[in-house]
Structure 1
């Protein structure tokens, strides 16, 4: 198992991290015994970074990880878990959640603690005003938390604002060969690295969709290369080819996936992909873009929208619904477009001014496409639920 150096604190972290969100199941429920065995097998194979969260697997993820790390395993690994901002209204609430997390994980310290799924600077400032950051810094001084970071799903501009709002120890972003220009993207990856902030990558396979839900043309393109690799291996190697990446998380749900990923992680050196291999990815991405509903390349020339619509993100989520047969497209839509941020960037925010269309190099009828997205992706029930949540969290 290859390791990469955390450029901020000197930790040697396995390039493959275990994402504790997709444990093995049995009869529709988590197979706890098998999950514990899988976690321990990960450690035996050299994985030393485990990522969980307060509400993963219906709140069971931290408990299972905690059980698995008993018997001397805890000292061999780094635990990353997260504080869910949407569940925090007061500082005491955050303290209560953290105390529960320590108990579930059966540990007295957390190596990497994240503010879960920050979407904009206003969300960070809300937590800061509640005293959350000051409290986390106190825990860090006491050694109860070793590193303070955040995970992110949102626009590139929001990522940059959050990144520059605080002296972070690390950050976690979604990144894969389909998200070069989406969310934080390559720009965010390189920005964080230039600021000396380690980057943990999640969703390298888009929740498995880049492994087993690809168009047949893409699969044929991968098969055309002389060395036979699975789509999952291709996707992971692409992420690991970036020297700015510290750890890549994978939610491995069975032993076969673990075996394959560990093998790939044994020789995935930065900048090791050949010119021929990179050309395979160019052709794959070209196929994916040609099969999309809206021919947006994510160049962001249309931005900023004077009314706050995140046009590239709207198109990206909409395209994924059809290109990758995305079943959770509405959830991803509201999450990515800031459902719980100060200023959501939905398609419905569009006022039809048309300024974006004159800047689009693809000559997309942006207003027309946003109208389709609004009709298909936004619904009364979800909008109402988010309004209630925003009121509860005092987001105006």
Structure 2
């Protein structure tokens, strides 16, 4: 590890110390078996599962939080729920928050809520650039930074928009220390061929794409390529935009799910994704505190092995 990369990890480690001061030592980490109400100070030694970011070795909790469709609101009632979501997310061991300037006023809300709840220094903040033109990209990223607050840990090019122009800017920003990591994102399986090309030819820290038990295509080429190239993977659309829950509605969770510490359909979907070691984090989005807590529990306990993943796919396909 180079001196600059080591500094990156150490700086984030200091921010994690601030996290625990902000939420209270008794709530710093959450074991998978318990709800917040059952938490005791002894449980602070039981941390959420983490995985290394290949380019630095920094550890990242496996359950992050997306914000598409969840943090864009002006409703005071919804904002109150989102404040609870943010506090519980950090209390249960989360750090990665992923957003975009295209998600309505999500960046503004996330920045304000993170500061108001005292957890901003605990967060690994990821956002995106989604605009044509060099200067327009610089301006958009500056606006995102103002809304979210510094530092921006990860800046990503959203859906290949003006990719080559924006990539040059991202490389300069990383070299200048304006962002810590850079990457690209997409959300469609039809983009996998181009994703594969970009992952093979660019020196990126992160890539984000869709992967789920209903759409496991990324297992064929993208996930092995990410592992070979040392690229951290963020997974979006793990619930297939809610279609997963429509498919399992009214069905009993199979008894075998308890073998990998799974106690809800939401955890079933997330643990399937996390069973692949090339995945660094999955980023489900929600404005519901109870759903947030259920999502977070997927980061604790055992994960299914490959044979179990096959059994899980067969269960869903039979519905």
* TM-score, normalisation: structure 2: 0.75
* Alpha-carbon distance between aligned partners in 2 of 1:274 and 1:165, rounded to the nearest angstrom: 30
1:210-263, CA deviations, whole angstroms, 9 ceiling, x for partnerless residues?
1x200669x35x435474732212111111111111011110221111221222
Normalized per residue, which structure has more helix?
2
* Alpha-carbon distance between aligned partners in 2 of 1:41 and 1:191, rounded to the nearest angstrom: 34
For residue 148 of structure 1, the aligned residue among 182, 188, 202 is 182
Question: Which residue of the partner structure matches residue 100 of structure 1?
Answer: 143
* Alpha-carbon distance between aligned partners in 2 of 1:67 and 1:196, rounded to the nearest angstrom: 34
1:113-169, CA deviations, whole angstroms, 9 ceiling, x for partnerless residues?
100012xxxx6xx532x4x32222221122111111011233432221121231111
For residue 192 of structure 1, the aligned residue among 209, 226, 230 is 226
For residue 70 of structure 1, the aligned residue among 89, 105, 115 is 115
* Alpha-carbon distance between aligned partners in 2 of 1:162 and 1:51, rounded to the nearest angstrom: 21
Q: CA deviation at 1:61?
A: 0.7
Q: CA deviation at 1:65?
A: 1.1
Q: Which has the larger radius of gyration?
A: 1
Question: Which residue of the partner structure matches residue 19 of structure 2?
Answer: none
Question: Which residue of the partner structure matches residue 252 of structure 1?
Answer: 286
SS at match of 1:207: helix
* Alpha-carbon distance between aligned partners in 2 of 1:206 and 1:223, rounded to the nearest angstrom: 20
Q: CA deviation at 1:24?
A: 6.9
* Alpha-carbon distance between aligned partners in 1 of 2:212 and 2:95, rounded to the nearest angstrom: 22
Are the counterparts in 1 of residues 208 and 233 from structure 2 also a CA contact under 8 Å?
A: yes
Question: Which residue of the partner structure matches residue 223 of structure 1?
Answer: 254
Question: Which residue of the partner structure matches residue 280 of structure 1?
Answer: 311
* Alpha-carbon distance between aligned partners in 2 of 1:26 and 1:138, rounded to the nearest angstrom: 33
1:176-325 superposed matches below 5 A: 176-181=212-217, 184-210=218-244, 212-214=245-247, 219=251, 222-223=253-254, 225=256, 227=258, 229-269=263-303, 272-273=304-305, 275=307, 277-287=308-318
- Quick check: 169-178 or 223-232, which moved more? 223-232
Q: Residues 186 and 274 of structure 1: is their aligned pair in 2 closer, same or farther, counting only changes over 3 Å?
A: closer
* Alpha-carbon distance between aligned partners in 2 of 1:140 and 1:38, rounded to the nearest angstrom: 30
Are the counterparts in 1 of residues 81 and 289 from structure 2 also a CA contact under 8 Å?
A: no
Q: CA deviation at 1:209?
A: 2.0
* Alpha-carbon distance between aligned partners in 1 of 2:50 and 2:110, rounded to the nearest angstrom: 22
Question: Which residue of the partner structure matches residue 151 of structure 2?
Answer: 109
Q: CA deviation at 1:185?
A: 4.5
* Alpha-carbon distance between aligned partners in 1 of 2:257 and 2:63, rounded to the nearest angstrom: 25
Question: Which residue of the partner structure matches residue 364 of structure 1?
Answer: none
Question: Which residue of the partner structure matches residue 44 of structure 2?
Answer: none
Are the counterparts in 2 of residues 199 and 244 from structure 1 also a CA contact under 8 Å?
A: yes
* TM-score, normalisation: structure 1: 0.61
Q: How many corresponding residue pairs? A: 266
* Alpha-carbon distance between aligned partners in 2 of 1:63 and 1:30, rounded to the nearest angstrom: 17
SS at match of 2:287: coil
* Alpha-carbon distance between aligned partners in 2 of 1:30 and 1:256, rounded to the nearest angstrom: 15
1:365-376 superposed matches below 5 A: none
Q: Any stretches of 5+ residues in structure 2 without a counterpart?
A: 1-47
Question: Which residue of the partner structure matches residue 30 of structure 2?
Answer: none
For residue 31 of structure 1, the aligned residue among 72, 78, 86 is 78
SS at match of 1:81: strand
